[in-house]
Chains A and B, each alone.
Chain A
Amino acid sequence: MELRFDPDRCIACDSYACLVKCQYLNYDFESAREERIKIAKGEYSRVLEECKTCYACEEYCPYDNHPFYRIVELQEQYGINLAPKPISKQLVKMYAAKEKDLAAIREVGSKALSLCLFPDLKDNVKSKLFEGLPVIMGRQVFCNLVYLHFANMSVIKERARQTIENIRKYGVDELVCFHDECYGFFNSYARAYGIDVPFKTVHLYEYLYNWLKENEDRIRKLNVKVAYQRNCSNRLSPETDRMLDKVFELIGVERAEREYDRENGICCGAVFQMWGEYELAEEVQKKNVEDMVKSGARFAVFNCPMCYVALAERTAKAGLMPILVSDLCRLAVGEMPKIPGRG
């Protein structure tokens, strides 16, 4: 399973966008040029140690050449430990599909909603928005992309085909992906590694847009301003970010213009906490939430459940109301969503 990465294209690139646009690395043009060449040639580069795994270079690359996947492969090749070793190893064991997970697979019909590995969300999708859509979740459908944060490409590769096969066994022709990471797995990662996906995947935003469009008469515009936390894995499908704008428009939500959104989005800090980089986590969370507050938003809106866990309390203390995108849509159709994980 080879990454479709063209080193020549990378060497010929004169934008160095992958490095100079990075939110975390502060390289001048000359340094960026040197490090980019090393990465293209598969040599050791300081980028491998300094990368914060925000996925953004996947979006910045003008040639769709997968610089981030390349970096992660090299991190693993050069034995870079981003996180404490026991944390990385335990995480790999924790989310491996077990026999009992595989035994839970049943045909559910042609269309299903994947909640990935977030059982805490099961009450949040008990909604007319998802009516008639069977929910599948668990380690057997887990996309494993989280290991991109842990310099562990091999475990993703090892499990990729089996995950796809497991989902196929549910009998679905169309899979709605609640989490960006799953959608990114099927549409970016699978493509980058030449893995065939035998079913159609739909991003949550596209699904929400279509549902809301069909049920426009049921929408009561919210007329609120929100600060959106764009998560790392949305970088793998940047086109869906524009779909979110359309969803917001339908439900009467203004997406606040702020420093750390869209291409300049920054991390929620959860991964840095897992790595033990507490000061960085604090710095990123602080400036992110301050920026949200400064934008004048009333809601802090998340799609990634991990971002929600990492930032919900902090945003609430700052006076914002933390909420998931899907729950915001539920508000617009007169439903009262529940706090994720609290039933």
Chain B
Amino acid sequence: MYEELKAIVGEENVSKEPEELYIYSSDPGTMPPVKPDYVVMPKTTEEVQKIVLLANKHKVPVVPMGGALSLSGLVRPLKGGIVVDMKRMDRIIEVNERARYAVIEAGVSEGKLKAYLDKRYPSLRISTPDAPPIASVTANALIHGSGRLSQIYGFHSEMVNGMEVVLPTGEVCRVGSCSVSPYWFSRSPLPDLAGLFIGWFGRTGIVTKLGIKLFPKHRYRDVMIFVTENPSYVSDVIWRVAHTEMAEDITVWAQPKPEWAEGFQHTTIYVTADSEEELEFKEKIIRNALMDYIKQKEGGFLYLTPGMKAMFLQEPMSQLVRFADVRKGGGFEYVGAILPVDLFDVAYQKGLEIVERLGVDWAFSIRIIGRSHCMMFAYAYPFNRADEEDVERARKALHETNKAVLEMGGIPWKAEVPAQQLILESMDEGARRLIKRVIEMLDPNGIMNPGNWEVE
């Protein structure tokens, strides 16, 4: 098999060396490592197709991999086989400035696309997730990621205009407008086949190209932070700010470190504009929307010095990366609970109860998705990977949080395998059966990332 893979991608792009397989066996999260048998780095869709056909021939699992930053172990090859690292497929194929979309290969990173647009299309931007720049644009969209423009435009999966996919049986197909037209402008008005590949964690095929929406980049950008000391206010604060339609992005953070932050909720509001007048106007509208809280002395805006502003305006914020390693030892994972915003207080209190009981380090980081249609409530637990007790504490906190999220009516995002099973247990029986049928129909040999979304 190694020889056959070499023939497809070339010797330098395939490995079965233990030290390289080790790297591909885990991510910074708590899930235990699982080694692949081979790692390949294809350069073209044709190579991906050949790899999938080969895997079918040998009935060997195939696991597609983007940036490997899900933190929940989604690209660990649970049943061994071939990890297909997409990083060499990193061409930005097209940017349609007027229709505001880009067509990219699946290995293009957030950093590369952002830098490319900054240089060549300064009036366009992507919705950047708060992940390191090596995160993959395609993988992030396919796992329903969210980012700096999600408050306006929704999940990154909703920004997908179309895709090219190598199906588990090796056929290549296009979905979205690009299946009919040379333009990758939309998924409408066709049957929405993109849904067969979004949220499936690579269980239904390997996406090789993606059409992704781009958005206007404004000349001015500012940040405001509204501080409260009562979590029951926060959902209303978010509702009011979202109602103004003046904010580009709304996030909330609450954490015990630094000490001055403990006990407070910080609603961070990003505002963009094309003129100073527009910026001032928008900020005034937002302030007025929260004036009841200010007058009642229950909430107020933090005074941000230029240095503080610069830190909060970073995209992505380097501070988040520093927090991720606060325990040292490189362990970090979170439950990203997708919840109605109205459940903020319940979610917050439940999170505090868990962290206090289990004694784990923590931070809550929340991003509003849609005009407060829902939120991604991240319960983040850094840990030291060299300390097994610390890992176990974090693992337990994650498991309990996943359960609590489902109990309160939410759904864990990019769920690790145990959490996927919790979700499936709570799922409507008809939906469970449909998932199973879709997988069996598309992947008759069961080779695509098996172990994920496994319906018994």
Contact = CB atoms under 8 A, between A and B. Distances in A.
Secondary structure type dominating chain A contacts: helix
Contacts of B348: none
Given A84-B227, A90-B227, A98-B259, A341 B300 contact: no
Nearest to B280: A282
B260 to A, nearest CB: 4
Contacts of B301: 87, 273, 276
Interface in A58-89: 81, 83-87, 89
Contact of B299 (A84, A309, A341): A84
Interface string B274-302: 00000000001001000101110111111
B305 interface: yes
B325 interface: no
A309 to B, nearest CB: 6
Contact of A89 (B229, B291, B302): B229
Contact of A276 (B228, B261, B300, B305): B300
* Most chain B beta carbons < 10 A, residue from A93, A98, A120, A341: A93
A94 interface: yes
Interface string B294-315: 1101111111011100000000
A87 B266 CA distance: 11
B276 to A, nearest CB: 9
Contacts of A93: 259-260, 262
Question: Main secondary structure on chain B at its contact with chain A?
Answer: mixed
A278 B228 contact: no
Given A85-B229, A90-B227, A90-B260, A341 B305 contact: yes
Contact of A83 (B260, B261, B284, B300): B300
B260 A94 contact: yes
A96 B260 CA distance: 9
B302 A90 contact: yes
A94 B284 CA distance: 27
Contact of B303 (A85, A96, A98, A273): A273
A278 B287 contact: yes
A270 B302 CA distance: 11
B303 A274 contact: yes
User: In which size bucket is the chain B interface?
Assistant: 20 to 34
A146 B267 CA distance: 24
B264 A270 contact: no
A90 B264 contact: yes
Interface string B357-396: 0000000000000000000000000000000000000000
Given A270-B303, A276-B301, A86 B228 contact: yes
Nearest to A276: B294
Interface residues of A, number: 22
A44 B311 CA distance: 43
A79 B291 CA distance: 21
A98 B262 CA distance: 15
Contacts of A274: 300, 303
B259 A85 contact: no
A179 B260 CA distance: 24
Contacts of A94: 260
Contacts of A85: 229, 297-298
Contacts of B264: 86, 89-90
A84 B294 contact: yes
Interface in A92-124: 93-94, 96, 98, 120
A55 to B, nearest CB: 18
Contacts of B300: 83-84, 86-87, 274-276
Contacts of A81: 297
Given A85-B297, A90-B227, A341 B307 contact: yes
B279 to A, nearest CB: 12
Interface in A254-283: 270, 273-276, 278
30 contacts: A81-B297, A84-B227, A85-B297, A86-B229, A86-B264, A86-B298, A86-B299, A87-B300, A87-B301, A87-B302, A87-B303, A89-B229, A89-B264, A90-B227, A90-B260, A90-B261, A93-B259, A93-B262, A120-B307, A270-B303, A273-B303, A274-B300, A276-B287, A276-B300, A278-B284, A278-B287, A309-B305, A341-B305, A341-B306, A341-B307
Interface of A: 81, 83-87, 89-90, 93-94, 96, 98, 120, 270, 273-276, 278, 309, 341-342
Which 5 A/B pairs are nearest by Cβ-Cβ distance? Answer: A84-B300, A276-B294, A94-B260, A87-B300, A93-B260
